[in-house]
Structure formats: structure tokens, C-alpha cells
Chain A
Amino acid sequence: MDYKIDQGGDALKVYISGVLTFDDHERFKSVVKAISDSASATAEIDLTETKMIDSAGIGMLLLANDRAKKAGKDVRLTGASGHVLKVIQLSKVDEIIPVAS
């Protein structure tokens, strides 16, 4: 997994590329931190370039969402397609983290 953080607009944007799995656990902590420390009230996690996600990857998104909520912010997921979209649909994660198309 690679990520890019863009603080430019109203919302903080985090672009996740590659495969998001258990191995990315440590690296993802900085994403979680960037979201909770951000000045924006909204964080958008862009999954356009995310090819696959495993259960630990979903867990990381849940963690990011939880930390953001506790810091009074909203997280939404965007751009999911293919395998990632199927996992989101199957697991109904959109009932917990809003998914925008």
C-alpha cells in the first residue's frame, strides 16, 4: 500500500493505492493520525487506486473512522471499485462509514 495526503481543499483527502492488507498495519497508523490531527472536519479516503483489501484492511478503515469520530470529524470512502467495492458491499461497511461514489 502507498498513500498520499492532500490537505488542499475543504476536506482532507487520503489516496490509498495498491493492496491494503495486514502488512500495512504500521504504515496506516500515520493515515489514522493525519485524519485525526487534520484541521478539516471531513476526511475523504479515496480508494480509486486500491486494488484489493483484506479483513485487516477493512479493520484499518474502521479504526480511522472511529478515531476521526472521536475527534469530531467525518470520514467517507470514495472511488471503490472491483474487489474493494465487492468487499464493501458484502460486509455492509457503508452502514458504518459513508460511501460516496
Chain B
Amino acid sequence: MVAQPAHTPAPAPVDSDNARILVVDDLRSSRMLIGSVLKSAGFSNIDYAGDGIEALERFEAHEPDIILLDIVMPRMDGFEVSHAIRNRFKSDVPILVQSGVQEAEQRVRAFDMGATDLVSKPINAGELISRLRLHIERRRLIARLQRYQKRMEEELHSAEGMQMSLMKEGPEVDAITQPRQARMETFYRPSYKLGGDLWDVFEIDEHRFGVLMVDLSGHGVSAAINAFRLHMLAERSEADATDPGQWLARLSDELYEILPIEHFATAFYGVFDTRDLSLTFAGAGAPTPVLRRANGNVEHLDASGLIMGCRSNGHYENQRLMLQPGDRLCLYSDALYENFDTPDGALSVEELSALIVATMEADAVDGFTIDLIKRVFGSVPDSFPDDLTILMLEVLPA
């Protein structure tokens, strides 16, 4: 970008407006009359065309902010001009059509051909200026909102990248689980760019790794900010990572200090140990994990527990589960079964569990998590009503 010399513009007269106005009228006297009305109202950036062909040439050379268009003109009339601007040039520039009050059919047709509004002909100076200002302001407002929206989208997009980078990619997960007789499949999708779900898999020692799944209350930006904070607290935690109950209690205490009263987190934290194929875990209000044993038995784990960040000194009970090769455990966030648009359409634990087990028992098509989503939603939706996380842990043969 070329640096502009700094300068302070002279204060503009209150009514001055540099909106570019294209006046299209075949009568020179009409153009001059309109031009003088516009100038006396403070408009200084006026362009003229004497017929439809010329109007499109002027339009192409320099798109105006608004067009004041006559209907009856030689070579090409106002209807065709309006139609071309909307269809050929795909422009949404406001078009004010001059039309006599009596010509009802013409007025309707003008709108059909893309006119934004009508101004009476012969020109009434007061009406013309009021309508011009209205549509110019409206266009500026829309342009401002579009710029604002674009900027917000760009910012959210970049924040989305930051959030995604908190979660490990397949090979990173494999590097932790495969040497420890397990494998994992993961799925995470925020409902809108940023979400309040968070999962992690991390090594504890040569025998053990931890699996964490968290759902921050709410969704969107505030939940995402809380997810970032929680991620940092979890990474820096000095609590004993091999003791899930104590680890969650410590995290909850820390969250209690920073979260507002109405915010909290649900969590599941488990530690898998290859020495005895045990999973020690504690829950803080997480949805019921579903375990399918290699022999076909199905168990629902209890991950209930006080939601984190609501008070200090909460107690989280450790549970211990003995696993075998072929056992598969599915963890998920509530977006998988809750349906707030049709409350009666929400899945019960039993219904969801049946879908999870059926997915585990069927031949994998796109991998467990995608297959499960298809089974639950019918297809993979472009967007989910809430942040969705699915984790699947399988114990491998020794």
C-alpha cells in the first residue's frame, strides 16, 4: 500500500455528500434540472447518461452508489437498463425509477425489472432528495455491516484454527496409544467455528496414558475462551495425573476461581494402564460412556459427578474398570443425543447405546466416529446444533 501523506480535511458542510449518483434521462433539460437540485442539496459527485446504452457504459466505467433512472428513452429504455444491471452486472446498487403517478402498470413493471424504489415524475425536489438520502444511507449501512461481518468471520476463522490446534491429530494420538496396547478414534466439530468442547490424550509414563473429554457450558465464543483457559490449567496442573478423581477435583477448584457463577464444565478423565489393562476414571457430569466388551456384553459407565467450577473442594470418586483386548469404549458429548428443536426426538441412553453398539458391530465404512454420526443423524450434517465430540478407545491384543 502506498503511504498517504497525512492531512486533515477541511470540515465539510453539514449537507455535503460525495455519493456517486448516475442520472439517466434523455432530456438534457431534465438532466440539468435534476443536477441542480442534487447540487443544491450538497451532492457533488454526479454523472450523467442520455440513454440506456450510455447508462450501462457509464455504469461499467465507474459503478455509482445510486442510479436515478428515466423509463422512456431512445435506443434502450429504463426497464432494460435496470434488468441488465441486476442480471448482467449482478449489482445491487439502488435504482430509483422516475415514473408518473398515473402509470400504475409501469410502476409495477419497474419493480419487476429490479427497481429499488420510485420517484415521481415530474421531479419533486424535496421527495427526490429524501428518497436518495434514504437509499444511500441504507446502502452505506449494509456495506458497513458487510465489512463488519467479514471481519468477524475472519477473526473467528483464525480463532477456530487456534482451537483446532489444541486437539491432537491422528498420528499424534497413535504415537501415544499404539505403544500402550490401545488405539483411539476421535471426532470434534464445533457448532459454529468456535466451541466449548475439548478433548486430549496424553502420556503419563511408559505404561499409562490419560484420556480427557470436557464440555464447557454454553457454546460459541465464551465457551471457547473457557475451553482455552481450561486447556491451559490442565496442561499446567500439578495434581497427580494418575489419580483421576483428585486430578478433576484440583481442576474444578481452579475453574471455580476463574469462571463466572453460571459457567461450568462437565468432564470425563480416565487413565489406561497397559500393565493390567485397567481404566481408572472419574466423571464430572459427563454423558454415560458406553463399553462394548469383546464378548458382546454392553456396560454403561457412571460418569456422573458434580459439574466442575461450581464450588471448591468438590469430591470426585475414582472407579476402576478391568478391560480386555477387543473391548471398546465410546465417549461422547451431549450433542450426540440431545435435540432441543424437537425435545421429544432426543435419544435415551439406551437408544444411543444401541446405535453405538450396532456401529461397533458393523463393518467400518468411514471409521467408527463417522459411521456412528451417520447412524444417529442419518448423514454427516454440515453443522451440528451444539459442539460434538466423540472418542472411541479400543484395547488391542498384546
Contacts and interface: CB of A to CB of B under 8 A. Distances in A.
Interface of A: 19, 21-22, 51-52, 54-56, 58-60, 62-63, 66, 83, 89-93, 95-96
Contacts of B219: 22
B304 A52 contact: no
Interface of B: 215-219, 261-264, 266, 285-288, 303-307, 310-311, 314, 334, 338, 340, 343, 346, 386
B150 to A, nearest CB: 25
Q: Give me the 4 closest cross-chain CB pairs, A-B, nearest first.
A: A59-B262, A55-B217, A91-B285, A92-B306
B217 A89 contact: no
Contacts of B215: 55
A30 to B, nearest CB: 15
A95 B317 CA distance: 14
Q: Name the prevailing secondary structure of the B interface residues.
A: loop
Nearest to A93: B307
B310 A54 contact: no
A92 B307 contact: yes
Given A19-B343, A62-B262, 11 more contacts: A22-B218, A52-B343, A55-B216, A58-B217, A59-B261, A89-B304, A90-B266, A93-B307, A95-B306, A95-B311, A95-B314
Contacts, number: 70
A92 B217 contact: no
Nearest to B307: A91
B261 A90 contact: no
A52 B343 CA distance: 7
Contact of A52 (B261, B314, B338): B338
A56 B307 contact: no
A62 B218 contact: no
Contacts of B264: 55, 58-59, 62
Nearest to A63: B262
A62 B310 contact: yes
A52 B340 contact: yes
B263 A21 contact: no
Residue among B285, B306, B346 having the largest count of chain A Cβ atoms under 10 Å: B285
B338 A91 contact: no
A19 to B, nearest CB: 6
6 contacts: A19-B340, A58-B307, A83-B338, A90-B304, A91-B285, A91-B306
Nearest to B311: A96
Contact of A91 (B304, B311, B340): B304
Nearest to A70: B261
B304 A51 contact: no
Contacts of A95: 306, 311, 314
